Amino acid sequence: MKSHDGMYIAGEWRVPVGRDAIDVRNPADEQIIGSVPAGSAEDVDAAVTAAREAFPGWAATPPAERGARIAALRDALAARRDEIAETITAELGAPIGFAGAVHADLPIAVAGSYAKMAAEHSFEERIGNSTVLHEPVGVVGAITPWNYPLHQIVAKVAPALAAGCTVVLKPAENTPLVAQLFAEAVHAAGLPAGVVNVVTGLGPVAGQALAEHEGVDLVSFTGSTAVGKRIGAIAGGAVKRVALELGGKSANVLLPGADLERAVPHGVANVVRNAGQSCNALTRMLVDAARYDEAVERAVAAAESFVPGDPSHPDTRLGPVVSAAQRDRVRGYIERGVAEGARLATGGPEAPEGLPHGYYVKPTVFADVTPDMTIAREEIFGPVLSVLRYEDVEEALHIANDSVYGLAGAVWAAEETEAVAFARRLRTGQVDINGGRFNPLAPFGGYKQSGVGRELGPHGLLEYLQTKSLQL
């Protein structure tokens, strides 16, 4: 894998202040495939300075011209679509088919949506005797995760650019290679120097320096709730705007009369997708008591159809998790589920057969899970499904809402109207109805400890704008 030994700051690759580096490992074979600089607070300061200097000019650029530059960025990413997919497979372990169809194609589509939005959004409105202006917040510090590395970069950078903001990006240390590729695409798209800057580094060093920097007007963070709380506290102390997309423990509610033949395999596939490393994964499947055993049987069959294997092979549907630490974390949760009395229906903490190397986890289904168990309450971030039993619809609603999280959910019912009525009572940011598809133009974000603010679509653009009222 190609990597840069510098930071992308003010339109060029600059030598970092320090000599520390971060090795990037392929989670399928544990081999080092690249190395990037471990940025310091000084590197972050240089990037923020570049972004502040570029801000007035970019904010004054007509929105249609900003849209044209974002469209050029989309085209630069599309031209390297296959390279993006291969890079993400190499550093994240996502199966190559999924890497192309989701990890590469989705951010390309999102970039295109914001190119269009920049040109079409009304940046002023009339309310009574006032003209209300929508103006860019300023310099954005974007701190992105490793699970959907390019998608999360684009979901922050594209709307920020459309709004007229400039950006300093600190990508996750596990997946920095695709972030450097993104910087190359920014350069190829002809974005003015300093409008987008990329500093690789560790969260507690570069990430914290970015969150604390007085030259950053808004911090947009996606990652764990624990880190999000710290960033929120830092931003609150500085009276700084913050957008947080955090954890989840989403419920997949199969109401009485739901089509189990469709619903159960669909739910399992959702959990196993991306090796379970999705914040909106439907990791709690709720089934009525009368059909509980049937649902567990179907879940086991569906999970066992996902055979862990080499993510670079086109037929592989389940690759490794991102790191040894993540593998150990997931296996630890599986062991805890067994210890707390859940029934291991399939899978387990042992390494999959025939895969002595790599950070692989068996697709795992737990039955007889109760709402108080750790595996039903904490985010595992691996291919682990908990199947819970409920006696009536009100109990199902209580179980689904009894969580500190509220990011996503799903409802299956014989009639769409029944599912929608139930979904309206869920305290969560988005709900799939009878297998409804992800919509990149709809707002994405959560209730409760799943975050603050929304990403994607027009609602995502508004996060990077502030209002000014002119009384006439």
Q: What is the CA radius of gyration of the chain?
A: 22
Which of 91, 279, 418, 455 is flagged as catalytic? 279
Query: Beta strand pairing status for 451-452 and 241-245?
Result: antiparallel
CB-count burial class (<10 Å; 0-12, 13-18, 19+) for 291: middle
For 258, half-sphere exposure in the C-beta direction (CA atoms, 13 angstrom radius) is: 32
For the question of residue 455 being annotated catalytic, the response is no
The values of phi and psi at residue 220, to 5°, are: -115, 115
For the question of residue 379 being annotated catalytic, the response is no
Which tokens belong to 386? Answer: 């908990």
Which of 173, 184, 212, 245 is flagged as catalytic? 245
The answer to whether residues 211 and 228 touch, using CB atoms and an 8 Å cutoff, is no
DSSP 399-424: HHH-SSEES-EEEE-SSHHHHHHHHT
CA distance 108 to 123: 24
Q: Which of 33, 7, 2, 34 is nearest to 18 (CA)?
A: 7
Place of tokens 């993510």: 311
CA distance 99 to 88: 7
Hey, which bits of 331-382 come out as E strands?
343-346, 364-369
Provide the H-helix boundaries in 121-197: 149-163, 177-188
Q: Which of 59, 58, 13, 68 is nearest to 36 (CA)?
A: 13
State the DSSP code for 8. E
Alpha-carbon torsion angle 105, 278, 257, 443, nearest 10 = -60
Residue type, 323: S
Residues acting as catalytic residues? 245, 279
